Each structure stands twice: as structure tokens, then as C-alpha cells.
């Protein structure tokens, strides 16, 4: 029997020079079956594009391509019908699939599917294809989350609440203003996630082990069939740089930092002492001992799992900081960090959207807090500047004196007569009309009409602008989906024409060009 006709044997496919099987302990330690299993269909897509390209370029015969495609189709069917699953023998999805195809259509055919390719570029390819499919639903969920915040904000452009700096009352604002501030933050997170997608969406296939190949491959063709934006051109870069991973985990970590802040504010808002918000029962937890308790357990988990997300980013940063150029097995860990991180983001956005959709606020309590703690002091100083032509620094001193005296007496700006008397001590007179306009929170917010200010009209304008940003981002995601669907359809069409219509590879390709 010729060498070409020999069976591949029971050894692992990469074990050609080895005289001894991998130690079971080492095999178990290096196994990535569980994290690879969700990537099976992406792996099949990549294999289909690769072998069609090989046949197109005359590197393998049409007959070999056809048999390999048959093997891949049968594998897909067997996996769906639970007749086959990844096995530890070949420790990852790449070798499992190749083993299946070889066993199904013979080494004379299946043994050619890895031509011009290494696991180095194949692992990166499968990871990118998988990550793309996970990122897009996350981006859409964040957009929907922002839209929920904007829907709530639309109803509360005049609902007063205290604004804080240093956790102390600062100036009056509205619930809509608070919500839209988070909407603005999360829209930047959408932008970062889209940018991470774009960094990811480049084609490493054809890079080989690290230096490309002497075969006349067509990397632009596989780029088209797999829906990538472009070729990741430099082969050593394609297999040895995982900055796309860091870009994704970094964007997710920044997003989590903001989610944690939002969760924290709600946790304090629902306390008895604040009493400004009520968490829905569906997102609350009880105590096993104290029957009166209604705990924000879900929100606390959001805060806690932020640390987990940071840890995943730090894990990959630490892994990559000391690696030499070229592919290193350390990179296999990126599949775990990405898979865990993306699931964590998806689940957390779902929870936070539910929290915000059902969160109840107490407008009367918010207004009471605004009235009680000198939130309009800044506007009183502004009034003295504009109406009495006093330098702002002196106005600051005058208002500080008035506030200090009122605090000592247990009073505040709701005591009109005492406030006016204290101003008079500094030779300042103020009419009742001006007093209402300057020191009543509901009137004060109407005056802050500067761009980005708290005035209801300005907040409504920003809501409309942010809604348009959501529309624009969604249009971008829809375009990406269409691009990927077109690529999948083209690949599936080629496979069907080659297998069912028995067309030659190049004739099949001509039908889609």
C-alpha cells in the first residue's frame, strides 16, 4: 500500500514524529473541548470556505473538495442529531473535525483539507467567527437598554431630584437628566463595542503557522466567503497578536464599570434613608431569617461581577505581556476568557434592562430632598452676579454666610423671610418674584438652557439626539448582519451547487460572482 493510501491511525493528527502518546494527565490539562463545542458550526464554515478556495486555486482537485464538503455536511447532521460529539482524543474542535472528515471520506480526500493551513491560523479564525456572532447580540442589547432609559427619561423631564457631587447635595436636576447621563455613557460603550467588532472582523486564514505559504492561495476569496471586512495581511501578526481579544474585554470592562455605578446608585436610592426608588419584586431577594427584608441581590451581583470582568481582562493582559512573537499555546486561554466575558455581559445587560424597566421612583420624596438642602444656592450666587453686579467670589461669600446661618438655626431656603433678612444684613434686597425664580428648584431648572444643561427643553433635545444615535447604531448592526448573511448564503450556495448540482468549483463560483 502506498504512503498516500495509508490510514491516519489512532494517534493524534499532529503526532507524526511522536513515538509515545500524550500522557492522560497532560491531555486532560490541555483539553479545550467544552469551550470549543459552541464553535463547531463556525469551524465548519471556515473549513468549507478554505477547501473551496483550495479547489478554486487548483491546489486540490474538485473531487477532493466535493468529498470533504460531503464529510462536513454529514458531520453537521450527525452533531445536530446527537450521533457524534467532540472527543478528548483530539483535544480541540479543529482536530476533531478533521479526524471525522478523514474517517468519513478517507485520508485520500480528508487528508487534504488542512493543506496551506495551520491550527495557528485556524484557531484564530474560529475564535473570530464565534466572537462576531456573540458580539452582535450584545451590541443590540445595549442599544435596547439605552432606548429603555430614553423612554423613561421622556416621561420625567420635569421630575425634580437632587444632583450630587462628593455624595453631597449640589444642584437641582431631574430624573430625566440623571437617566440621560447614563444613556450618554452607554452610547459610548456601544461605540467601543462596535470598534472592537471592527478590529476583530479581519481574516487570519491563510497565514499558516506564521509565514504564509508557497501555494497560490486566495485570501481575498476566503475573506468574502466568511464575511470579513478585510484580510489581516501580515501572517505573523495574524497568528500571534490577540489585541482583538483585549479590545473586546477592555470595552466590556469599561461598560461594566458604568453598569456597576448605576447599580450602586439604585442600591442607595431604594434604602429607607434615601427612599427615592422602589425595586420591583421580580428583581429583589428576601432574607432567610428576617421576613421584612427586600434585598437588591441582583444589583449587588452586578457590582460583584464587575470584578470578575476586570479579572478576565487582566488575565489576558498578563498572559500576553511576556509572549514572544508567533503562536503560543497560551493563546488557547483566550477562548475561555472571551466566552465567559461575553456571556457575562449579555446576561448582565438583560438583568439591568429589566431593573430599569420596572424601577419605580418617588417624585414627592425627590422634590422634598431638593427643597431641604440648599440645592439652589449656586443660582442665588448667579443672581447676585447678574442683578447686583457683584463679583462672583464675593457672591460666593455672601451666599455661604446665609447658608451657614440658616444651618445653625435649623432652617433652609423654604424660610423666605429669614433668608431675605440674612441677605439684607449684606445689603442685598430681593423681590418675592425673584426669590421664587432663583430659589425654587422647579423654576431654576428652567433657566439652565445651555447646551447639555438640565432645562427640560434641552433634555428633550438630547433625548431626540440620543435616539438618533441608537437608530444609527442599529442601522450599522443591520448592515453587518446583512453582510454576514450574504457571506453565509454564498458559502452555502457554493456547497449546494458543488454537492447537489455536481458543478465544478469554478463553475459554481461563477454563479455567485
User: How many Å apart are CA 467 and CA 475, to the nearest integer?
Assistant: 12
Distance between CA atoms of 409 and 402, rounded to whole angstroms? 11
Phi then psi dihedrals of residue 146, to 5 deg: -60, -40
Q: Is 166 left (phi over 0), alpha (psi -120 to 50) or beta?
A: left
Q: Are 360 and 280 in contact (CB under 8 A)?
A: yes
Q: What is the DSSP string of 390-445?
A: --HHHHHHHHHHHHHHHHHTT--TT-HHHHHHHHHHTT----HHHHHHHH-HHHHH
Helix (H) / strand (E) element for 203: namely strand 202-203
Catalytic residue among 30, 63, 230, 287: 287
The whole-angstrom separation of Cα 385 and Cα 366 is 29
162, β-bridge pairs: 172
Q: Do the Cβ atoms of 306 and 259 come closer than 8 Å?
A: yes
User: Which residue in the list 2, 166, 288, 429 is annotated as catalytic?
Assistant: 166
Under 8 Å between Cβ of 160 and 442: yes
Distance CA 499, CA 69 (A): 8
Three-state DSSP at 221 gives helix
**429 a catalytic residue:** no
166 labelled catalytic: yes
CA distances from 193 to 93, 141, 314 (A): 27, 12, 18
CA 405 to chain CA centroid, nearest Å: 51
- Collapsing DSSP to helix, strand or coil, 66 comes out as helix
C-alpha cell of residue 104: 468519513
The catalytic site residues sit at 166, 287
Amino acid at each position: 500500500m502506498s504512503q498516500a493510501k495509508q490510514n491516519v491511525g489512532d494517534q493524534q493528527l499532529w503526532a507524526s514524529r511522536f513515538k509515545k502518546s500524550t500522557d492522560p494527565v497532560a491531555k486532560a490539562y490541555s483539553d479545550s473541548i467544552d469551550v470549543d463545542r459552541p464553535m463547531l458550526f463556525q469551524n465548519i464554515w471556515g473549513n468549507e470556505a478554505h477547501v473551496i478556495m483550495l479547489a478554486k486555486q487548483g491546489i486540490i482537485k474538485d473531487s477532493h473538495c466535493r468529498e470533504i464538503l460531503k464529510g462536513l455536511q454529514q458531520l453537521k447532521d450527525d452533531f445536530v442529531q446527537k450521533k457524534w460529539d467532540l472527543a478528548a482524543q483530539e483535544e480541540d474542535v479543529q482536530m476533531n473535525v478533521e479526524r471525522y472528515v478523514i474517517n468519513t471520506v478517507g485520508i485520500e480526500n480528508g487528508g487534504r483539507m488542512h493543506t496551506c493551513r495551520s491550527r495557528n491560523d485556524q484557531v484564530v479564525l474560529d475564535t473570530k467567527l464565534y466572537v462576531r456572532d456573540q458580539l452582535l447580540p450584545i451590541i443590540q442589547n445595549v442599544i435596547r437598554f439605552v432606548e429603555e432609559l430614553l423612554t423613561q427619561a421622556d416621561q420625567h423631564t420635569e421630575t425634580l431630584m437632587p444632583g450630587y457631587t462628593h455624595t453631597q447635595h449640589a444642584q437641582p436636576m431631574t430624573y430625566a437628566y440623571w437617566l440621560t447621563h447614563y444613556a450618554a455613557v452607554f452610547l459610548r460603550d456601544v461605540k467601543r463595542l462596535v470598534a472592537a467588532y471592527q478590529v476583530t472582523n479581519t481574516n487570519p486564514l491563510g497565514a499558516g503557522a506564521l509565514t504564509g505559504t508557497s501555494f497560490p492561495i486566495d485570501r481575498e476569496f476566503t475573506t468574502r466567503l466568511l464575511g470579513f471586512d478585510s484580510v489581516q495581511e501580515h501572517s505573523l501578526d495574524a497568528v500571534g497578536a490577540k489585541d482583538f481579544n483585549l479590545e473586546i474585554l477592555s470595552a466590556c470592562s469599561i461598560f461594566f464599570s458604568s453598569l456597576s455605578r448605576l447599580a450602586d446608585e439604585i442600591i442607595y436610592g431604594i434604602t429607607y434613608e434615601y427612599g427615592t426608588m422602589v425595586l420591583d419584586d421580580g428583581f429583589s431577594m428576601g432574607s432567610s431569617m428576617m421576613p421584612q427584608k427586600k434585598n437588591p441581590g441582583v444589583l449587588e451581583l452586578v457590582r460583584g461581577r464587575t470584578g470578575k470582568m476586570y479579572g478576565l481582562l487582566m488575565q489576558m493582559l498578563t498572559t500576553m505581556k511576556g509572549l514572544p512573537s508567533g503562536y503560543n499555546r497560551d493563546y488557547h486561554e483566550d477562548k475561555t476568557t472571551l466566552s465567559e466575558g461575553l456571556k457575562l455581559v449579555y446576561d448582565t445587560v438583560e438583568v439591568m434592562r429589566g431593573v430599569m424597566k420596572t424601577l419605580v421612583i418617588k417624585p414627592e420624596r425627590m422634590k422634598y430632598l431638593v427643597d431641604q438642602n440648599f440645592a439652589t444656592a449656586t443660582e442665588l450666587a448667579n443672581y447676585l452676579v447678574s442683578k447686583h453686579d457683584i463679583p462672583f467670589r464675593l457672591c460666593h461669600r455672601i451666599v455661604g454666610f446665609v447658608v451657614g446661618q440658616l444651618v445653625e438655626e435649623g432652617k433652609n431656603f423654604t424660610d423666605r423671610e429669614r433668608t431675605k433678612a440674612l441677605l439684607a444684613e449684606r445689603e442685598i434686597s430681593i423681590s418675592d418674584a425673584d426669590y421664587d425664580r432663583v430659589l425654587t428648584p422647579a423654576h431654576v431648572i428652567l433657566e439652565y438652557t445651555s447646551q447639555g444643561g438640565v432645562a427640560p427643553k434641552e433634555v428633550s433635545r438630547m433625548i431626540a439626539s440620543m435616539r438618533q444615535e441608537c437608530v444609527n447604531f442599529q442601522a450599522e448592526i443591520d448592515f453587518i448582519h446583512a453582510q454576514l448573511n450574504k457571506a453565509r448564503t454564498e458559502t452555502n450556495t457554493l456547497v449546494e451547487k458543488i454537492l447537489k448540482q455536481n458543478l465544478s468549483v469554478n463553475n459554481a463560483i461563477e454563479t455567485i460572482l
